[in-house]
Amino acid sequence: MGIYFNPSNESFTRARNSQIFVDKTELIDYLNKRLSTEENCIALSHARRFGKSHAAGMIDAYYSLGCDSTKLFEDTKIAKSSDFKKYMNKYNVIHIDVASFWDFYKDNIVEKIVEYIYKDLKKSFGDELDYQDNISYVLMEIYQKTNNPFVIIIDEWDCVIRNSEDKELVHRYLQFLHSLFKSEESKAFLALAYITGILPIKKIKDESALNNFREYTMLKSRPITEYYGFTEEDVKELCKKHDMDFNSAKAWYNGYLIDGKHMYNPNSVVQSMMNRDFDSYWKNTSSFASINTFITMNYAGLKDDIMTMLAGGKVMVETEAFQNDLFEIHSKDDALTALIHLGYLGYDADRKSAFIPNYEVAKAFQMALKTGEWSEISNAISRCDELLMATIDGNADKVAEIIELAHETYTSVLNYNDENSLSCVLTMAYFTAPAYYDIVREHPAGKGYADFIFKPRANAGWRPAMVVELKYNKSADTAIKQIKEKRYQGALSGYSDRILLVGINYDAESKDKKHHTCVIEEWKE
C-alpha cells in the first residue's frame, strides 16, 4: 500500500461515509469490459466539480491491490454485475494527481512525478529494480515479477498543457505519458488507462502520446454521461430525501445538456442539500476571472452573443476549430467553446448552440461583468432586485423607470426596436427573479399566449404570482385589458393566493424622455 502505487480505498470510503452519496459504480462495469483490450485508454474531460476525482477514487478502491474493498462495494449497483468480484483488487494501480505536483514542481514536474512513484515502488520491491531505468521498463519488470497488470489513473492530466507555454516542458511531459501509454512495454503491462482533465486532448504536431485514447467531453460523452454529474432522477431523489424543492434545484443547477441528458453540477447540488439553501456555490475569484478572460476578448459578435445568452437565448457556435488550448483562442467560437469546456456555458448538440445553463452560472456571469467594458451592464443588472420589489409592491412608476434604464443599457446590443426585443430586455431587467420564480415566455394561457408568466416556487415565500404583458407603441392599459380578456391569469391557478397583472408599453415615438409606461393591478375574480 502506498500513496501513488497501489493506494488504499480511503478516498472512496470517505465518499461512502458522506451524508450524501449517489451511486455511480456502474461506471466500473463499463471499464471492466475494456480491460486489456484495444479500447483500454479512457480520457475524460469535464468541467470542475463534475465528479472526475470522485470516480478516480472509486477506481482506486475497486482495482488496487493495496486494499480489500469487498464490503465497501457490496451494496452498490456494480455488485449486481456477474463480473463484480472477478477484477476487484487484482491490479497494480498507479494514481497521480498532476495538479498537486504542478503547485510545487513547475519546472521539473516530470522528474518529480517519476521520483515519487519510484519512492513508493521501493517500499514494495526494495533493490530488486533498477530505478535508473525508464519508468515504462520498470513497470514492465514489475508486471513480469507479479503477473499483475497495471491500471494507471492520472487526475488533471492536462494541468501542464493548460498552464505552461514552455514547449520543451510540454514535450517532456508528453514523452512521459507516451512511456506509460504507448511504449512497447506498456502494451504488455497496461490493463487500463483512465485520465481526467478539463480540456479535451490537444492535437500537437508530431506528438502521439495520447492519440490512442477514447475521449469523453462536455460536448459528447455517451455512453458514460450519467456517471458524471447528477441526473434529473438523482436530484429528484435527493430533494425528496432532504425535503427540498425540486423545481428550485432545477432552476439553480440544471442545464448541462450532454448527449440529450440534463446533467446537474453535483458539487452545487450536494452543497444546497447540506446547507438547505439554494445559492451560488461558484463563489470563488477563479470562476469570475475565467469568465472575464474570454468574454472581454475583442472578437466581432462576441459581446452580442454573450448578451443574447444573458437574455435567455442560444447562439450558434462552431466547436470543431478549437485547439483544446486556452492559449490558442483565435475567434469568437474559440472563446465560447472554451467556456463550454470550463462549464460556464451549456451546449445543445442538436442545435450546435451555446447557452447559459442555469441560474447559478448566470450569477457567476453577473459577478464577472463588474469590470471593464461590462460595468454599465453590471450596474443595470444590480437594480434587478429593486425592480422585482417595485413590481411586487405595485410601484408602476419605479418599474417603468428601471426598465427605461435597462432599455438604454441594452439597446445597442439587442437592437431594441420591436416587441420581441422588448421581451429580451425584460428578461435582462428581471435577471435575478429566477431565484424565486419559474419564468416562462410565451406561456399558453386562457385564450392565447402570455408574454411572461412568473410562477412562484416553493422558496418564493410571500412573493405573488405575476402575469406580464408587453406592448409596442400602444399602451400599458391595453396590455392589462388583454390579460383580462384572454384570462392569462388562469395559467397561475393554484400557484399563489395573490396574482399581479403587469402591463408594460414601449412608445418609440414618445416626445417625452420616458418611453416606457407601466400599469400594475392585483387580480380580483
Residues ≥6 apart with Cβ < 8 Å to 279: 252, 271, 272
Buried b (16+ CB within 10 A) or exposed e, 192-231: bbbbbbbbbbbebeeeebbeebebbbbbebeebbbbbbbb
Averaged pLDDT, 434-461: 91
Contact status, residue 466 vs residue 502, Cβ threshold 8 Å:
yes
pLDDT, tens digit, for every residue of 367-386?
888 876 788 888 889 999 99
269: three-class secondary structure by DSSP: helix
Averaged pLDDT, 422-446: 89
Classify residue 464 by its DSSP letter.
Answer: P
What whole-number distance in Å separates Cα of residue 152 and Cα of residue 59?
10
pLDDT, tens digit, for every residue of 452-501?
999 999 889 999 999 999 998 899 999 999 999 999 999 998 888 899 99
Ranked by mean pLDDT, which of 201-205, 332-336, 488-492 comes out on top? 332-336
- Which residues face 43 on adjacent strands? 195, 215
C-alpha cell at 97: 494527481
pLDDT at 49: 82
What whole-number distance in Å separates Cα of residue 209 and Cα of residue 177?
6
pLDDT, tens digit, for every residue of 84-139?
999 999 999 999 999 999 989 998 999 999 999 999 999 999 999 999 999 999 99
Averaged pLDDT, 434-459: 91
pLDDT at 361: 93
- Residue pointed to by grid coordinates 447562439: 315
What whole-number distance in Å separates Cα of residue 8 and Cα of residue 60?
7
What whole-number distance in Å separates Cα of residue 175 and Cα of residue 186?
13
Q: Name which of 244-248, 279-283, 389-393 the model is least confident about.
A: 279-283
pLDDT, tens digit, for every residue of 30-88?
999 999 999 999 999 998 888 888 899 999 999 999 999 999 999 999 999 999 999 99
359: left (phi over 0), alpha (psi -120 to 50) or beta: alpha
Q: Is the pLDDT of residue 414 over 60?
A: no
pLDDT at 304: 86
What whole-number distance in Å separates Cα of residue 330 and Cα of residue 297?
10
Confidence of residue 416 (pLDDT cuts 50, 70, 90): very low
Confidence of residue 206 (pLDDT cuts 50, 70, 90): low
pLDDT above 70 coverage of the chain, percent: 94
Q: Strands 499-506 and 465-472: what pairing? A: parallel
> How would DSSP label each residue in 30-43?
HHHTTTTSTT-EEE
pLDDT, tens digit, for every residue of 396-407?
999 999 999 888
pLDDT above 90 coverage of the chain, percent: 72
Burial of 54 per CB tally in 10 Å (0-12, 13-18, 19+): buried
Averaged pLDDT, 290-303: 89
C-alpha cell at 383: 437594480
Please give the residue that has the higher pLDDT: either 282 or 187.
187
Averaged pLDDT, 334-341: 96
Averaged pLDDT, 260-280: 92
Residue 270 carries which side chain, given as an amino acid letter? Answer: V
Q: What is the pTM of this model?
A: 0.91
**What is the average pLDDT score of the chain?**
91
C-alpha cell at 240: 425528496
Classify residue 1 by its DSSP letter.
Answer: -
Peptide bond into 456 cis (omega under 30): no
